[in-house]
């Protein structure tokens, strides 16, 4: 079994805490995701992470011959992923992303994403995420969301 500090160190370099916003009917869907990608030669480490956290799936990405370990389930993010990184802190700028990610997951667990004010709060938090994460959602659609 991997050491918890190894897991934090590896994720500090390789993992992503991201949140996507996409239209769904007359509302918007907010999807937080914790993921780690590796090329095929190192895919074993993803299965070891899956074993360590006891949740999530490893899937191949056909487009670029990589594998991705991902968790999207809110209860699993709340019970397994977030507590791990709260106990074993990240050292890089990813720590800031993690804190924003936690704030968004908490708002969602409280059902805030189902209200206009809650959605606005989430989008303001998303704005603080790093540039990579910003690219995930469409800026025009974001404006529409802010004007709901």
We find the least distance from the C-beta atom of residue 11 to its own copies, in angstroms, to be 7
Chain residues 3-32 in contact with its own copies, contact rule CB under 8 A: 3-14
Taking CB under 8 A as the criterion, the residue among 30, 35, 38, 53 binding its own copies is 38
State which residue, 93 or 144, has the beta carbon closest to its own copies. 93
Cβ closer to its own copies: 28 or 85?
Answer: 85
Out of 27, 29, 44, 128, point to the residue binding its own copies (CB under 8 A).
Answer: 44
End-to-end CA distance of the chain: 48
Draw the binding track, 61-90, toward its own copies (x: CB under 8 A; -: no contact).
Answer: ---------------------------x--
129 binds its own copies, rule: CB under 8 A: no
* 124 burial via Cβ count (<10 Å: 0-12, 13-18, 19+): exposed
CB 75 within 8 A of CB 34: no
Residue 120 CB, nearest distance to its own copies (Å)? 27
User: Cα(13)–Cα(70) distance, rounded to whole angstroms?
Assistant: 16
Smallest Cα–Cα separation from 52: which of 83, 75, 73, 74? Answer: 83
| Alpha-carbon gap, residue 131 to 136, rounded angstroms | 9
Distance CA 125, CA 98 (A): 11
Question: Which residues bind to its own copies, rule: CB under 8 A?
Answer: 2-14, 38, 41-42, 44-45, 48, 88, 91-94
């Amino acid at each position: 079994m991997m050491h918890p500090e190894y897991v934090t160190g590896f994720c500090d370099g390789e993992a992503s805490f991201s949140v996507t916003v996409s239209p769904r009917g007359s509302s918007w869907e907010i999807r937080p995701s914790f993921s780690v990608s590796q090329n095929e030669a190192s895919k074993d480490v993803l299965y070891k992470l899956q074993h360590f956290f006891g949740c999530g799936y490893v899937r191949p990405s056909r487009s670029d011959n990589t594998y991705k370990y991902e968790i999207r389930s809110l209860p699993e993010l709340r019970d397994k992923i977030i507590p791990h990184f709260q106990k074993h802190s990240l050292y890089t700028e990813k720590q800031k992303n993690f804190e924003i990610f936690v704030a968004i997951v908490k708002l969602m667990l409280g059902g805030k994403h189902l209200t206009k004010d809650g959605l606005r709060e989430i989008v303001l938090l998303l704005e603080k995420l790093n540039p990579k994460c910003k690219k995930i959602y469409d800026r025009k659609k974001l404006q529409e969301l802010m004007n709901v």
